[in-house]
Structure 1
Amino acid sequence: MTRRLLEDMSVVAASVRYRDLAYLVLSDDGIDPGIGHSHIFSWDLQDDPDDPWGYAGATYWTTVDMAISRHPLQQMIAISPHGEARLFGSHDERDERIVAADGDPRARGHLRAVRTIGEHTFVAGMGRQVYRRDAVDRWVCLDRTIRPAVGETKGFEGIDGVHEEDVYAVGWDGEIWHWDGAAWRQQPGPTTHVLTGVRCGSDGQVHAWGRRGLIVTGRGADWRLLPQDPLVGDIRDMAWHDGDLYVATGSALYTLVDGMLQPVGFGDDVPTGFGRLSVSDGMLWSIGPKDIMAHEDGRWRRIA
């Protein structure tokens, strides 16, 4: 991708599949944000090291999140708030609708997050919705027992897990719910402020985040706040890479060291924006609307 392309378009989301293969969703800066659309690109060094960028199509809906699906094929998945899904990769391309016999986002509320945990892809959203993709175009609803009462506004903003029987979903009113593969249990969280995302480490430790520097950490029924300066702004993403927990806001990238945020240095090539993180195969991408930076083998380099 050239810098020229990013003059007219902005990166909405990106997911790294391998250190030499990734997928991105871009939006056109000249189109009204209220008009749903997404442009999908691939970045494939094996295909062409000198020009790795390829156009993979467009959608007529807005992408809210994306991930790398593993089952039954390894490919990118981008989702809309209303339940549309686009999958691309492994010589396959398809559109699906996230819907089950007892769950439909068009009736229940917007979807917010998609995350692959173990071999399956999970989706979460408003109304405490949770779906799991069990096969091609087959989605199973997992939230039957935790739906809000009539007139009650609740919802999940993020989902992640150590494995498929150790999953956490977080969201409105600081809610933290745990799925053990058979049942959901609400955990006693330390805040009533909305939690907008969650990330699980391989050691089982969980971090959730929100606005104005809000970070909570724990697991099971044991959670605590990690106080930060609210001036750092809204936290938008976290990712583990090379033993460090990276934390992105819209204006900076940090690592969490002894419970405190420490700014990341980029040398002379400092990105203008941040907000999303993706890690796979030993490579971390820091993604902003007009910048993509990669961290590998202890060094940063610019992708776009």
Structure 2
Amino acid sequence: MLNSIDGNHENDLYVAGDDGKIFHYNGAAWSSIETGIDVHLNWIRVYGDAVWACGYNGALLTGNARSGFRDVSNVDDNLTFHSLARFQDNIFLATFNDGIFVYDGQSIRAVNSGLNPPVQSHRLDCRNQVLWSFGVKDISWFDGKRWVRVDHPDNPAL
């Protein structure tokens, strides 16, 4: 099962999937890349030469097809990261039930949004220097200083 695709160019695509699989397309052929893990990967994002993938058991990988991937995770094996986004030189990670986490280049830690209830996210995206979090009943954004919840038009306010 392939779960996510991203790339810089039609000749530089990455796909992440179940059992720790990452594949790279160079414009001519697909090749499998060894990751050293066997857990499902839910999301992959390409930021220049840096490729990031996340998934089950707190997996967070970084690398690329040329240099390989390394596991930089250091969190509880029970976490499942569903998506990630780079914002202000950090990698933010979304979980359905455990909130948002951030990798600062050294370690992964929970984000305290200051919102009540805490932010629940399954998709993160960065646009116009704002990090957006999308959950089932929760839309929030972060400008680097404060988190703001947006009332979802189809749901009661949280």
What is the TM-score of this pair, normalised by structure 1? 0.45
SS of the residue aligned with 1:191?
coil
Q: Report what 1:216 is aligned to.
A: 61
Q: Rg: which structure is higher?
A: 1
Residues 300 and 262 of structure 1, relative CA distance in 2, 3 Å threshold: same
In the alignment, which residue of structure 1 is the partner of 2:155? none
The Cα of 1:231 is off from its aligned counterpart by 4.6
Matches within 5 A, 1:132-151: none
Match 2:51 to one of 169, 184, 206: 206
Deviation at 1:297, TM superposition (A): 5.3
User: What is the match of residue 290 of structure 1?
Assistant: 137
Paired letter, 1:210: G
Q: Is the 8 A contact 2:119 2:140 kept in 1?
A: no
Structure 2 residues without counterparts, runs of 5 or longer: 152-158
What 5-or-longer segments of structure 1 have no aligned partner? 1-154
What is the rounded CA distance, in whole Å, between the counterparts of 1:255 and 1:168 in structure 2? 22
- How far off is 1:172 after superposition? 2.2
CA distance in 2, matches of 1:265, 1:225: 24
Counterparts of 1:165-244 in structure 2, within 5 Å, are: 165-202=11-48, 204-221=49-66, 222-231=68-77, 233-244=79-90
Find the aligned partners of 1:211 and 1:236 in 2 and give their Cα distance: 8
Number of matched residues?
Answer: 149
Structure 2 Cα separation of the partners of residues 280 and 207 of structure 1: 18
The counterpart of 1:277, out of the listed 116, 124, 128, is: 124
Query: Counterparts of 2:105 and 2:127 in 1: how far apart (Å)?
Result: 24
- Tell me, yes or no, if the aligned pair for 1:210 and 1:234 is still in contact at 8 Å: yes
Structure 2 match to 1:248: 94
Deviation, structure 1 residue 294: 0.9
Please tell me the root mean square deviation across aligned C-alpha atoms, in Å: 1.9
